[in-house]
Amino acid sequence: MSDERIGMKNSDGSIAAWPRLTISGLEYNRPCTMLGLDENHFVVVDMWPVRDYLDEVDKLKDAIKGMSAPPKKVKVNDGA
């Protein structure tokens, strides 16, 4: 089970996988603002976060507890 709003970092802090959607479920462009969930996971925050987005952050922190696969490197198309 994975959530398309959660990104993953490598052990050196580099990005292993960008999330497909922002915390509120919207598509985004980089550069973007990220918010760490723990040492290995993060979310992209919307320019204008939805009300109660911190509650959603707490839910996503719980969601990563159920993610068993370690971060994998993925090819990212950053539009350049």
- Per-residue pLDDT band for 68 (boundaries 50, 70, 90) equals low
- The mean pLDDT value for 47-76 works out to 74
Residue 74's alpha-carbon distances to 7, 9, 20, 51, 59, in angstroms, are 11, 11, 12, 31, 25
pTM: predicted TM-score of the whole model, two decimal places: 0.64
> What mean pLDDT value characterizes the chain?
84
- Per-residue pLDDT band for 72 (boundaries 50, 70, 90) equals low
- The mean pLDDT value for 40-54 works out to 84
